[in-house]
Structure 1
Amino acid sequence: MARGERSEEAWLWYTTVYEAIQEIPRGRVTSYGHIAKLVGKPECPRQVGVCLKHLPSAATDPSKKSPTWNSGNVPWQRVINARGGIPPRGPSGASRHAAALRAEGVQVEQGPMGEFTVDLERFGWFPDVLPSEAGLVESSDEEDEEEAAYHT
């Protein structure tokens, strides 16, 4: 494998995480841990953070193609920590993160130490399953009920 290339397993993980993040509604936030839970790996919240850390920027030059997954099609700003905090990511990273959330209508507070937080009670998004999988879960339950009825 060439330097910088991801294994098929890593590519699948990144893709799964990025697709899940795309389902977070505009104006809502969730946690790294909740994304990990939704994709079936509740023990991997830090790895969700790694995926976002390595999310490439969208191409600004129209003549250049953006990577498949990029900051223009994965709403990275909608993922924060479980306490509602916006983690600092380098110089002015947290303020850029806060600005992106504010642009979506999320109220972001700044504490006395400069930390940014979001009220998870008001802006949190914590479904039991991803919306794209909700129909699959319901239909499998219906099939189980039909099968059980058939065998009784």
Structure 2
Amino acid sequence: MAAIGQEGSAVRVQQQDFDLSTELAQLRAAQPGVGAIVSFVGTVRDLNEGASVAEMELEHYPGMTEQSIQRIIEQARARWDIFGALVIHRVGPLKPMEQIVLVAVTAAHRGEAFAACEFIIDYLKTEAPFWKKEQTPEGGRWVDARVSDDVALEKWAR
């Protein structure tokens, strides 16, 4: 488990699962002024675009992916007064109901933490170099970016 850095953020791309309560406790312990912790956990669905999903495999570009996510966190820090941010993104084969991603943010107040967490996941979905391949009854298929994810980004351009 990687420690939260001095700047209060950490990025991990890994195959193994994560424990939500352990990760949030570690993030919170890094800063005594924390008044709010907001987290988002994304999981594998068993149905996508009308097809059953038996497995989803996530691939990434090592090094580049972590740098991309760190830049997203830095953008959130520039917009909101947050103490810490943690992004854990899993790669490899995952089954329905397994955890894919954790985004957690700490701040003095909930408004800053909610906004920063939503910003990070919105940018993560569209800007981080991950590729998803689903196994369906019809065979494997690569998952395209969703229009709804691009629409979610538009609100942050204001």
Report 1 or 2 for greater relative contact order, CA contacts < 8 Å, sequence distance ≥ 6.
2
Q: TM-score, normalised by structure 2?
A: 0.24
Structure label with greater radius of gyration: 1
Structure with the bigger percentage of helix = 1
User: By percentage of residues, which structure has more strand?
Assistant: 2
TM-score of the pair, normalised by structure 1: 0.25
